[in-house]
Amino acid sequence: MSQARTSPVDADERRQLRLARLEKIARYALPVLMMAFSIWLWNWIVTANNIPHYILPGPGKVWDSLVNDWPILSQAALLTAKTTVLALIFAVLGGAGLAILFNQSKLLEMSLYPYAVILQVTPVVSIAPLIFIYVESKTAGMLLCAWIVAFFPVLSSTTLGLNSVDHNLRDLYKIYGASRWQKLWMLQLPSALPYFLGGLKIAGGLSLIGAVVAELVAGTGGVGAGLAARIQEAGYRLNIARMFAALSMVAAMGVFIFAALSVLSHLLLHKWHESAIKRET
Amino acid sequence: MRNLPPLGARPPVLEMAQVNKTFGRDVVALDGMSLTVGQGDFISLLGPSGCGKSTALRLISGLMSPTSGRIDWSGGQAQGDLGVVFQEPTLMPWATVAQNVYLPFRLRKQSYESVKDEILDALRLVGLEKFLNAYPRELSGGMKMRVSIARAMVTHPRLILMDEPFAALDEITRHKLNNDLLALKSKIGCTVIFVTHSVWESVFLSDRIIVMAARPGRVIEELQVDAPYPRGEAFRTSPQYAAHCKAASDALHRAMEAA
């Protein structure tokens, strides 16, 4: 099998191999080309139509803003990143913790789960103003907003995972007289891991969204302003280039979070879980 | 177990007396089953679907309690007295082969080091000592089943329950595993209750065949296969084997008619 893969014997296999190699290159090359083309097109549209920079700045102007405003923007990015990461950490602790608690106590689950759902389905934008009235610290308020958005996917997917134990394994543990903690620690938590990681990936993106929404609601408060607040502020000043620069940093942050969580998921699952196994063609 | 006492003269391991199991108001899964399991017995429960074979196993394993009747272990039951093999290998995919076999000890809070030799012995018996650190997904269906068997016998249980363990495997693998299971039995002299749909499998493996009928699930008759262990390929082609198969087949037929 592996012999055949390293040294193709007939024309069919050679063709398949070539296609596979091309696809591998295209997977990286095409998005990069696409990006280069869009930037070129954007630049061409701006210059060809003489669009003023306070309506649509060209890519060069945005780049300049990224470089010149770097002290302000990096400071803002750091703040947004801090809110996002802290919210994600609390979302994991709160979501997974509640899931385990609910799993252990049916009573608690029946009493509290509906409220977790209500908290999730109520748009955070509508809760945020209230939060900022009652929570004095702006940092704590933003954290709370981001947490509300991010914790639910972790809670619901971990709950699903804890309940998805193979029923024969469950019987086996019972026959061997496993305690409730042994069952939780040795059987349910490993079973729930792939589900948890799926929820975590969603929560990563949501905690960034939550942080951005919280900043917008909290408003531009001078020194402690994150990227979203900078976007808003630059908008008031018609500094469109800086808006684009800050926006691209938010996007980059989202991509980074997703990539980091994907790597984490792969590291934890690649040895045993189906989702991480390459299928033999 | 070459010098096994004759059937009926073996010390009892477990006794079922008039065991009934009813679901809801009127679904009788098992009706008045009585069975004395002797030490070293290889008992097959043979019958059509719905005859209560699996119910009987679940009752013996303590996953369900009988509606009426008694199930008694002679001398009481201790943790680790029972080994179980399910229809699927039922391995933990996140754990290596060695960790899977270690499970019954781990649940009794014994350290890996203290039972390492037992784990190695069990894996050697099923021919997988080289796969200690492999993950289940790297193994074939037959190999996974061997790990499952190793896990069931690693504690040297007084009784091993097998619920159609080879039903999902292809015929050739099944053949091989049947031979290996008997070789294993000869080596360690375990007591087995084996649930199967297959007349041929039951005759090849067991010295007692309990034929069961459905609706309500109950024991129809018991056959004895008096061919001595170890049994090999020669037994499979002997006229004696054919005769036992015919007897078991006829009994199964009567069980189907009775339903």
Q: In the prediction, which pLDDT does A120 show?
A: 87
Q: In the prediction, which pLDDT does A280 show?
A: 44
d(CA B122, CA B143): 13
Tokens of B251: 């009994």
Mean pLDDT across A62-69:
94
Tokens of A183: 């069952």
Minimal Cβ distance to B84: which of A175, A178, A193:
A175
Instruction: Provide, as residue numbers in chain A, all residues whose Cβ is less than 8 Å from the Cβ of B63.
Output: 171, 174-175
Cα-based torsion angle of the residue sequence B57, B59, B63, B67 in order, rounded to the nearest 10 degrees: 150
Question: Is residue B2 predicted with pLDDT exceeding 50?
Answer: no
Cβ–Cβ gap B107/A182 under 8 Å: yes
Start-to-end Cα distance in chain A: 11
Question: Is residue A278 predicted with pLDDT exceeding 90?
Answer: no
Instruction: Provide, as residue numbers in chain A, all residues whose Cβ is less than 8 Å from the Cβ of B62.
Output: 174-175
Question: Is residue B4 predicted with pLDDT exceeding 70?
Answer: no
- How many contacts, defined by CB atoms under 8 Å, are there between A and B? 53
At which residue do the structure tokens 């037959």 appear?
B142
**What angle, 0 to 180 degrees and rounded to 10, lies between the N-to-C axes of helices A11-48 and A59-68?**
80
| Residue B197, domain member (yes or no) | yes
A200 exposure class (CB count in 10 Å sphere: 0-12, 13-18, 19+) = buried
Tokens of A87: 């919210």
Question: Is residue A6 predicted with pLDDT exceeding 60?
Answer: no
Least confident segment among A2-6, A273-277, B41-45, B158-162: A2-6
Cβ–Cβ gap A272/B84 under 8 Å: no
Tell me how many domains chain B contains: 1
Q: In the prediction, which pLDDT does A272 show?
A: 87
Instruction: Identify whether the C-beta of residue B101 lies closer than 8 Å to the C-beta of residue B51.
Output: no
d(CA B202, CA B208): 9
* Contact residues for A67 (Cβ-Cβ < 8 A; gap 6+): none
Tens digit of each residue's pLDDT (9 = 90 or more) over B184-240: 888 888 999 999 989 999 999 999 999 999 889 999 999 999 888 888 888 999 999
pLDDT level of residue A271 (50, 70, 90 thresholds): confident
| Residue B111, domain member (yes or no) | no
SS (H, E, C) chain B: CCCCCCCCCCCEEEEEEEEEEEECCCEEEEEEEEEEEECCCEEEEECCCCCCHHHHHHHHCCCCCCCEEEEEECCCCCCCCEEEECCCCCCCCCCCHHHHHHHHHHHCCCCHHHHHHHHHHHHHHCCCHHHCCCCHHHCCHHHHHHHHHHHHHCCCCCEEEEECCCCCCCHHHHHHHHHHHHHHHHHHCCCEEEEECCHHHHHHHCCEEEEEECCCCEEEEEEECCCCCCCCHHHHCCHHHHHHHHHHHHHHHHHHHHC
Minimal Cβ distance to B86: which of A168, A173, A186:
A168
Identity of residue B43: I
| Residue B99, domain member (yes or no) | no
State the residue range of the domain holding B48.
12-81+157-258
Cβ–Cβ gap B107/A187 under 8 Å: no
Residue A101 Cα, gap to closest chain B Cα (Å): 22
Cβ–Cβ gap B63/A171 under 8 Å: yes
CA A98-A104-A109 angle, to 5 degrees, is: 55
Question: Is residue B27 predicted with pLDDT exceeding 90?
Answer: no
Q: In the prediction, which pLDDT does A57 show?
A: 94
Instruction: Provide, as residue numbers in chain A, all residues whose Cβ is less than 8 Å from the Cβ of B94.
Output: 190, 193, 271-273
| Residue B190, domain member (yes or no) | yes
d(CA A219, CA A138): 10
Residue B99 Cα, gap to closest chain A Cα (Å): 11
CA dist B168 → A65, A100, B93 (Å): 66, 35, 19
| Residue B50, domain member (yes or no) | yes
Least confident segment among A176-185, B179-188, B198-207, B241-250: B179-188
pLDDT level of residue A1 (50, 70, 90 thresholds): very low
Asked if the C-beta of A173 comes within 8 angstroms of chain B's C-beta atoms, the answer is yes
3-state helix, strand, coil in chain A (%, to 5): 85, 0, 15
Minimal Cβ distance to A272: which of B80, B84, B94:
B94
* Contact residues for A90 (Cβ-Cβ < 8 A; gap 6+): A143, A147, A151
CATH number at residue B53: 3.40.50.300
Cβ–Cβ gap A190/B90 under 8 Å: no
d(CA A152, CA B184): 51
ipTM given for this complex: 0.92
CA B182-B184-B189 angle, to 5 degrees, is: 95
A3 exposure class (CB count in 10 Å sphere: 0-12, 13-18, 19+) = exposed
A63 exposure class (CB count in 10 Å sphere: 0-12, 13-18, 19+) = middle
Asked if the C-beta of A267 comes within 8 angstroms of chain B's C-beta atoms, the answer is no
Cβ–Cβ gap B63/A169 under 8 Å: no
d(CA A259, CA A236): 33
CA dist A169 → A32, A164, A172, B86, B175 (Å): 47, 11, 5, 9, 26
| Residue B115, domain member (yes or no) | no
Integer-rounded Cα radius of gyration of chain B: 18
| Residue B191, domain member (yes or no) | yes
Length of chain A: 281
Cα-based torsion angle of the residue sequence A233, A239, A240, A244 in order, rounded to the nearest 10 degrees: -60
Tokens of B250: 């006829």
Tens digit of each residue's pLDDT (9 = 90 or more) over A120-162: 899 988 988 899 899 888 889 999 999 999 999 999 999 999 9
Asked if the C-beta of A174 comes within 8 angstroms of chain B's C-beta atoms, the answer is yes
| Residue B98, domain member (yes or no) | no
Q: Which residue in A has a C-alpha nearest to residue B135's C-alpha?
A: A272
DSSP state of A188: I
Q: In the prediction, which pLDDT does B1 show?
A: 39
How many Cα atoms are found within 13 Å in the side-chain-facing hemisphere of B199?
15
A165 exposure class (CB count in 10 Å sphere: 0-12, 13-18, 19+) = middle
Sheet containing strand B68-73, strands side by side: B27-38, B12-23, B68-73
Instruction: Identify whether the C-beta of residue A84 lies closer than 8 Å to the C-beta of residue A226.
Output: no
Q: In the prediction, which pLDDT does A68 show?
A: 95
Average pLDDT, chain B: 91
Number of C-beta neighbours around residue A41 at 10 A: 11
Length of chain B: 259
Asked if the C-beta of A185 comes within 8 angstroms of chain B's C-beta atoms, the answer is no
Q: In the prediction, which pLDDT does A281 show?
A: 38
Minimal Cβ distance to A174: which of B63, B108, B137:
B63
